[in-house]
A and B are shown apart, each in its own frame.
Chain A
Amino acid sequence: MNDLFDKVKKNLIWKSVFRRDYRDNVRDRALAIFGNVFLHLHPVKVRESAVKLRYTWGMGGITFLAFIILTITGVVLMFYYHPSVDQAYSDMKDLEFQVPYGVITRNLHRWGAHFMVIVVMIHMFRVFMTGSYKAPRQFNWGIGVILLVLTFLLSFTGYLLPWDQLGFWAITVGTNMGAATPLLGYQGPFSEYLHITPYNDIRFALLGGATVGGNALLRSYIWHCIAIPLIATVLMVVHFWRVRKDGGISRPQNH
């Protein structure tokens, strides 16, 4: 058995990947963190309370996990989906009846999305209740609020993509609100002074038209799959970076 281990571990390929053996000492526990591109998001040492579930509830991390799950299932779904009025709905039917594991992939994506919205709200509640937005973490709270809004928008733009009655009318109701924007929406107060019509207002910009149609579907798709995930990723990088730079998980200050 040991011979086998030696064969696997003492060759060029294994050593090129793992570099060195792990021994359970201070140096190697630290190396395990900063020698790994994913784990080095963490500091080498953390406070006890960061490890205790009762303090953070793990909600920020779970939100990130949900984002990763949604990215993976979302990429899989993109292989089977055309953002066009003619094909979108039949692609959904194909997912249901033709694509191997199509149903569970879509289910994971949809329930994962609901789940992410729920956990991100609970994360905000936790951060508020522990006063963790206070100095020096004020700026990171603001980033977090924008990430919360982006989570809503990610979910909202995804709603239209199946091109069924539920999504179509939810988006219609939602974007009609845009028409009521003061100054910039054609039904909003004071917009007549800017010569705003249904064909040049903010709703038109959102939908790419005066009604929910092919352009709106394409815009939703691009916002949903590319633009918002990119923006959210950049902000997440800043968010995580600032957690570290602002002193890690918050804790009582009198040290």
Chain B
Amino acid sequence: MNPFIEIITQPDNIAIVIMILMVSFFMVWAFQQALENDKLKTAGYAVEGENDKDVDTYKPLVRIELLISLAVMLFLTVWSIGVDAPLEEIANPTLTPNPAKAPWYFLGLQELLVYFDPWLAGVVLPSLIVVGLIAIPYIDINPKGNGYYTFSERKYSILIFSFGFFILWLLLIVIGVFDRGPGWLWYWPWQEWDAHRVVFEPTKDLSNLVGVESRSLAGFIIGAIVVGAYMIGGMVWPYKYWQKKNPELLQQLGMIRYVTIVFLFITMMSIPIKMILRLIFLIKYVWITPWFNV
């Protein structure tokens, strides 16, 4: 069979195809409604839902809940009749499959292992994602756009969230499911997997670029300076920028909120930065210490 058809029709992968379709649909629908509301606002009209009246729960809401429930159950039943849940050979601790993939919703994190050591990719970054998500309502002090779709009133928060959600979360999952084969090497969905394929990629560490051994003291210092400069510079520079441009905003945010926002943001942006370093400049580590590597 065509390898592309084969990979997207594997029983567990059908869920990913359904996810791609559903997420794309709702993404378009959300942004379409946001733009519609923005148009209404600029024209001076009320946004969708602003002049809502109360209606009885029974029956309008109960009816629609019943209909959706039936539709969902029908959908799941058809899916379950059409596709059988996979059951592989009995567990065998002596036979490691290649590749050994985590469940699909964790494949984004497994994909991060290409770029970060496990303590970052598997523990610190996921914890920060959860903490960061919970923190959103407390660090987003923009009172606008509460209770309706909008884009123009919340541009930055929507752009940052969308980047994290669609690119760093969902796209990495899709890559992990469809584009990773034996040895976690990149395979296009239409390529045959080859368990014997070897890719020779002479990776180096950042300090090697200036001719310094990365495991030496000098390499350690260079790495510390680069990572430190990124974190401290990332904290200070936006502060200076906003102080000039919009000091009121900083005032409203306060120090704790500012530090939290910027810390979460530069941590998030370190992911694409490290990806570029790794993929384009073949850099494995920025900073090697006796305890951990970044």
Binding site for B on A (CB under 8 A): 26, 29-30, 32-33, 39, 42-55, 57-58, 61-62, 65-66, 69, 89, 92-93, 96, 103-104, 106-112, 114-115, 117-119, 121-122, 124-126, 128-135, 137-138, 141-142, 145-146, 148-149, 152, 155-156, 159, 162-170, 172-174, 176-182, 185, 187-190, 211-212, 250-254
Contacts and interface: CB of A to CB of B under 8 A. Distances in A.
Contact of B165 (A30, A62, A125): A125
Interface in B140-163: 140, 143-150, 154, 158, 161
Given A130-B148, A145-B133, A170-B100, A46 B91 contact: no
Interface residues of B, number: 91
B82 to A, nearest CB: 9
B232 interface: no
B134 A135 contact: no
B154 A89 contact: no
Contacts of B110: 173
B58 A29 contact: yes
Given A47-B54, A251-B49, A111 B80 contact: yes
Given A55-B48, A107-B84, A156-B103, A167 B15 contact: no
Given A121-B170, A141-B134, A251-B52, 8 more contacts: A42-B61, A69-B73, A128-B158, A135-B143, A162-B87, A164-B88, A177-B118, A190-B292
Interface stretch (B16-24, B189-197, B201-209): B16-24
B179 interface: no
B18 A57 contact: no
B105 interface: yes
B26 interface: yes
Contact of B146 (A122, A124, A131): A131
Please report whether the interface of chain B is mostly helix, strand, loop or mixed according to DSSP. Answer: helix
Interface in B250-271: none
Contact of A39 (B62, B92, B96, B102): B62
A151 B260 CA distance: 27
B182 interface: no
Contacts of B86: 166
Interface of B: 12, 15, 18-19, 22-23, 26-27, 29-30, 33-34, 46-50, 52-62, 64-65, 68-69, 72-73, 76-77, 79-81, 83-93, 95-97, 100-106, 109-110, 117-119, 121-124, 130, 133-134, 136-138, 140, 143-150, 154, 158, 161, 165, 170, 291-292
Contact of B102 (A26, A119, A174, A181): A174
Contacts of A65: 68-69, 72-73
Contacts of A48: 49, 52-55
A164 B87 contact: yes
A244 to B, nearest CB: 12
Given A141-B134, A180-B123, A165 B90 contact: yes
Contacts of A137: 137
A57 B26 contact: yes
Given A44-B56, A251-B147, A134 B91 contact: no
A46 B122 contact: no
Please report whether the interface of chain A is mostly helix, strand, loop or mixed according to DSSP. Answer: helix
A129 B76 contact: no
Given A33-B58, A47-B52, A165-B97, A170 B91 contact: no
A169 B58 CA distance: 49
Nearest to A187: B118
A6 B254 CA distance: 70
A105 to B, nearest CB: 9
Nearest to A44: B57
A149 B18 CA distance: 21
Nearest to A57: B26
A211 B88 contact: no
A179 B117 CA distance: 12
14 contacts: A29-B56, A29-B57, A44-B56, A44-B57, A46-B57, A55-B48, A65-B68, A69-B76, A108-B80, A125-B26, A134-B146, A141-B134, A168-B93, A252-B148
Q: Which 8 A-B pairs have the closest CB atoms?
A: A177-B122, A138-B137, A180-B118, A107-B80, A168-B91, A114-B15, A189-B292, A250-B147
B79 A111 contact: yes
A181 B27 CA distance: 35
Nearest to B33: A54
Contacts of B91: 89, 163-165, 167-168, 212
